[in-house]
A and B are shown apart, each in its own frame.
Chain A
């Protein structure tokens, strides 16, 4: 405990009664925003890893009369490019498997035109000039297209980063709201206990002695709200995590908590309690400085 007993009867004081609710809601929102941001970050890293150093080349459909020839030519061109480690044509079976999630297994008619695809792997760290490569490939095999997986991924990552920015914004608002509420509650407490504070002050109490009582009281209130808020957020995260697991959708962010993530989430109510305590201290000291 910060103080062995209260000279100010802050715990009987209605001015701080709403504070646990506010801190609870703030910790809940803050923990969810932080968990979301962390999950998105994991996803972005995973997406980046999965497409790092890969390209897909499309060379027309497989029912065209010169299909096999075009594929062979394209593969030859690609293999001659410095920086490309491997270029491999996908078999019809592989292409069908890629379409299964949309068309269903065994539903693909034999006369359905499918694109011929070449899976290209780059040497580590290589960035190709996609425009030049497309032009060179087009000369040999007219109509060949290069899918730089980065292009669509870049948009996905931009979206993910924007959502992370939003999460950071929410955390910022949560901090501002918490600080504001604590300042109001503390000022109300100072006003309610003005008489007692003045007596204690005149008896020779230092500012820090009075501030400590507000700090201890605010810490109690903040933990009283922060811990339930944190537990509620954990409940929501675990439930959401289970739902996402059940979907087995590889692109969705995973909410699984590694030790670092868990530590970061536990830090939310701790940080909220410290923030509230220091805000109370600062508010009290500022007000007391106005007394002689």
Chain B
């Protein structure tokens, strides 16, 4: 893929993520990790090539069908991208509200998940009053609240202490156990080393399997 008329950021990638798999995505800065994730969370369409997702060819899928696909994807953005004017609860509830879930169910689920990530006391806090690590947990909660089929996380543990980092990784592993395909882009070698999962390595716009792990 390329941005506008710029050089191709990613090329000749050949990659298959089996449903229910768990992969780390690593590589030096600027290698295209975020670009690859953007393709996967449907923020971009490839300039050429084929992406098939949930049995849809993304280049030919009608625009009106994309929201339904996006609702099956949970994304933890690198910069969190929380809505500053909404409380932690409302931020996490957003995917459910957009999907049209019932309000009484929303509150219960969201409060439960927020306490699971250690934010029970911050349910009504605005992102501006939260620390970096707390924001990150809100962002993760928002990504997983809809039990996505595919979870994409861009440096999801960058702002939390190692203990909370492991706790969040276990949340991802739990989701993976119940069938969610997980891709985690990270630089954190300790994190990668601590979990025996396949590692994809992006370098100069090309991808390779750096470690097989036990998918």
Contacts and interface: CB of A to CB of B under 8 A. Distances in A.
Contacts of A195: 81
A209 B98 contact: yes
A204 B68 contact: yes
Interface in B28-57: 41-45
Nearest to B42: A292
Interface in B51-72: 63-64, 66-68, 70-71
B210 interface: no
B133 interface: no
A267 interface: no
B209 interface: no
A271 B121 CA distance: 48
Query: Which of A12, A195, A204 has the most CB atoms of chain B within a 10 A radius of its CB?
Result: A204
Interface of A: 4, 7, 9, 12, 195-196, 198-200, 202-206, 209, 289, 292
Given A199-B81, A200-B98, A202-B75, A289 B63 contact: yes
A203 B94 contact: yes
B43 A203 contact: no
A9 B84 CA distance: 9
Given A205-B67, A292-B42, A292-B44, A200 B85 contact: no
Nearest to B73: A204
Contacts of A289: 63
Interface residues of B, number: 26
B81 A12 contact: no
A203 B85 contact: no
A180 B83 CA distance: 30
Contacts of A198: 43
A206 B67 contact: yes
A4 B64 CA distance: 24
A196 B91 CA distance: 11
B99 interface: yes
Q: List the 8 closest pairs (A to B, CB-CB), nearest first.
A: A204-B71, A204-B70, A9-B85, A205-B98, A204-B67, A206-B67, A199-B81, A203-B95
B191 interface: no
Nearest to B72: A204
B86 interface: yes
Interface in B94-143: 94-95, 97-99, 103, 142
Given A12-B85, A199-B81, A199-B83, A204 B43 contact: no
